[in-house]
């Protein structure tokens, strides 16, 4: 029997770890899959090549999978995700000047996102009064957790992300340079770009995004729904290989090897030491050498992270509605939730009990009432800064 050939697209980021390790450690080959990994430069490319069938599967931003399924601003192609490639993993980095300004205005512990968000509101107000340009924040894509995490944080402190500051899309490799030349004052991005800015002495990591939301679906293993129905066995094999890879990655004894695999020039192509920092959740946050550690900086497979959780899909959809990207409907909410398929995960890897210590609502936002995926209207009613639905 010959192996099933599969072409899978990815962006060189640490949260592609389960995919890259599944292929490079031979877990996919062991399932009879002959996977070719295609490195891409933009999420638009990954999405379009998946949608038109040039890729069988892809490492994709979770919100893009939902947006594609709902046909928001793009060709409507229903997507399903049987495996969550990562929870969290991003950070907010600010320029030394903005860092100093926020610290000067911080009333309380600056590790608390509410303290920094309120401080940011005061910085913004002072700039407006003095006639200075609004602050500019870089993020990676309109349909990205980075966008929603930044907005969720600043809006909690009273900053309107569309009126009080500028939010711009920047390709991750351009983030650091844009911070240096002043095109942005801050950015929210995944590894290794926050660390690169800190190492160069041009940025401070203000927050890990896991400070803002305990569990946010970051990237998923995405396939077209149609493809999943035509190739259920292949998808199960692919999902199983990813499960093995995630277990391998989460074993601390393998971290060095994993970092080397991911660091290879044709994969992520950065120093394995920087990759290991992200996997260990131990990051240098200030040019002065201060380190910070978090057990949930990036979750690849532990704490049930790999099992797609429709609650997180509902949270992402709620953000799309909040910021005027999507009109609200109960039907669309249901469609969004069904992009995440724990049933397919369980069928491939076996059902497992939800770890007991996970935050009760499955999201764990630093601000607001517990999130109820069945009632996102209540979530939206509880926030004051939001946009009207699209025309």
Partner 1 sequence: MVADSSFKIVIVDESPIRAAILKEGLRDAGFASVEHISEMHNLLARIYRIDPDVILIDLENPSRDVLEQMFQVSRVVRRPIAMFVDQSDASSIQDAVEAGVSAYIVDGLKKERIKPVLDLCISRFNAFAKLQDELDRTKSALEDRKILDRAKGLLMKAKGLTEEEAYVLIRSTAMREKKKIGEIAQSIITAAELLK
Q: Which is nearer to partner 1, 187 or 208 (CB)?
A: 187
Shortest distance, position 288 Cβ to partner 1, whole Å: 29
Q: Closest separation between CB of residue 289 and partner 1, Å? A: 31
Q: Is 39 near partner 1 (CB under 8 A)? A: no
Are 310 and 342 spatial neighbours (Cβ–Cβ below 8 Å)? yes
Taking CA atoms, 198 is separated from 92, 180, 273, in Å, by 11, 11, 14
Question: Could you tell me the smallest distance in angstroms from the CB atom of residue 42 to partner 1?
Answer: 4
Tokens 């966008």, residue located: 147
Give the Cα separation of 3 and 345 in Å (integer): 22
Per rule CB under 8 A, is residue 133 in the interface with partner 1?
no
CA 220 to the chain's CA centroid: 9
50: phi then psi, degrees, rounded to nearest 5: -70, -45
CB 337 within 8 A of CB 350: no
What is the maximum span of the chain, computed from C-alpha positions, in angstroms? 72
Q: Is 52 in the site for partner 1 (CB under 8 A)?
A: yes
Name which of 174 and 328 has its Cβ closer to partner 1: 174
Tell me the closest approach of the beta carbon of residue 349 to partner 1, in angstroms. Answer: 32
The neighbour count for residue 381, using CB atoms within 10 Å, is 10
Q: How much is the CA Rg of the chain, to the nearest whole Å?
A: 20
Tokens of 30: 């062991």
Among the listed ranges 148-156, 164-172, 311-319, 336-344, the one in contact with partner 1 (CB under 8 A) is 164-172
Measured from the CB atom, the residue of 36 and 44 that comes closer to partner 1 is 44
Ramachandran region of residue 282, left (φ > 0), alpha (ψ -120 to 50) or beta? beta
Separation CA 313–CA 181 (nearest Å) = 36
User: CA angle at residue 119 from 115 to 120, to 5 degrees?
Assistant: 120
Answer yes or no whether residue 170 interacts with partner 1 by CB under 8 A.
yes
- Toward partner 1, which CB reaches closer, 170 or 300? 170
The structure tokens 């009632």 sit at 375
Say whether residue 169 binds partner 1 (CB under 8 A). Answer: yes
168 binds partner 1 (CB under 8 A): yes
Rule CB under 8 A: say whether 297 interacts with partner 1: no
Among 27, 83, 141, 248, binds partner 1 (CB under 8 A): 141
| CB closer to partner 1, 45 vs 254 | 45
Per rule CB under 8 A, is residue 381 in the interface with partner 1?
no
By the rule CB under 8 A, 163 interacts with partner 1? no
CB-nearer residue toward partner 1: 141 or 297: 141
Q: Is the separation of the CB atoms in 331 and 308 below 8 Å?
A: no
Which tokens hold the place of 278? 């992200």
> Which tokens is 368 given?
């607001």
Closer to partner 1 by Cβ: residue 170 or 245: 170
Name which of 141 and 340 has its Cβ closer to partner 1: 141
How many residues bind partner 1 (CB under 8 A)? The answer is: 28
Binder to partner 1 among 3, 30, 36, 75 (CB under 8 A)?
75
In the complex, the smallest distance separating the C-beta of residue 27 from partner 1, rounded to whole angstroms, is: 29
Buried-exposed string 243-256: b where 16+ CB fall within 10 A, e elsewhere? bbbbbbbbeeebbe
Stretch that binds partner 1, among 1-9, 173-181, 237-245, 298-306 (CB under 8 A): 173-181
54 binds partner 1 (CB under 8 A): yes
How do strand 282-284 and strand 217-224 relate by DSSP bridges? unpaired
Rounded CA separation 148/150 (Å): 5
Nearer to partner 1, 83 or 141 (CB): 141
Question: What does the binding site for partner 1 look like in residue numbers (CB under 8 A)?
Answer: 41-45, 48-49, 52-54, 73-76, 140-142, 168-174, 178, 181, 183, 325
């Amino acid at each position: 029997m010959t192996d099933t050939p599969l072409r899978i697209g990815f962006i060189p980021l640490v949260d592609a770890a389960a995919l890259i390790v599944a292929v490079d450690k031979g877990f996919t080959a062991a399932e009879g899959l002959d996977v070719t990994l295609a490195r891409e430069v933009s999420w638009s490319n990954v999405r379009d090549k998946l949608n038109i069938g040039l890729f069988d599967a892809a490492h994709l931003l979770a919100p893009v999978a939902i947006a594609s399924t709902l046909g928001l601003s793009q060709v409507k192609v229903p997507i399903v995700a049987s495996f969550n490639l990562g929870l969290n993993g991003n950070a907010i980095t600010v320029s030394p000047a903005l860092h100093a300004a926020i610290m000067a205005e911080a009333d309380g512990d600056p590790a608390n996102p509410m303290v920094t968000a309120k401080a940011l509101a005061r910085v913004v107000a002072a700039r407006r009064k003095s006639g200075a340009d609004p602050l500019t924040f870089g993020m990676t894509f309109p349909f990205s957790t980075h966008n929603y995490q930044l907005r969720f944080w600043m809006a909690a402190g009273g900053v309107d992300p569309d009126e009080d500051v500028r939010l711009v899309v920047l390709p991750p490799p351009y983030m650091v340079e844009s911070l240096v030349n002043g095109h942005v004052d801050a950015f929210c991005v995944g590894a290794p770009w926050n660390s690169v800015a800190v190492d160069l002495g041009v940025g401070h990591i203000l927050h890990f995004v896991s400070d803002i939301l305990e569990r946010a679906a970051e990237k998923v293993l995405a396939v077209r729904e149609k493809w999943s129905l035509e190739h259920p066995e292949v998808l199960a094999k692919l999902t199983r290989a990813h499960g093995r890879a995630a277990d391998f990655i989460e074993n601390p004894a393998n971290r060095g090897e994993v970092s080397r695999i991911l660091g290879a020039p044709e994969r992520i192509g950065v120093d394995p030491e920087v990759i290991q920092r992200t996997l260990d959740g131990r990051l240098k946050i200030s040019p002065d050498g201060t380190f910070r550690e978090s057990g949930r900086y990036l979750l690849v497979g532990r704490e049930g992270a790999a099992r797609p959780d429709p609650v997180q899909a509902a949270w992402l959809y709620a953000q799309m509605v909040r910021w005027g990207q999507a009109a609200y409907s109960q039907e669309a909410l249901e469609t969004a939730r069904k992009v995440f398929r724990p049933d397919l995960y369980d069928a491939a890897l076996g059902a497992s009990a939800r770890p007991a210590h996970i935050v009760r609502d499955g999201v764990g936002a630093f601000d607001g009432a517990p999130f109820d995926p069945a009632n996102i209207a209540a979530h939206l009613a509880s926030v004051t800064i939001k946009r009207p639905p699209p025309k």
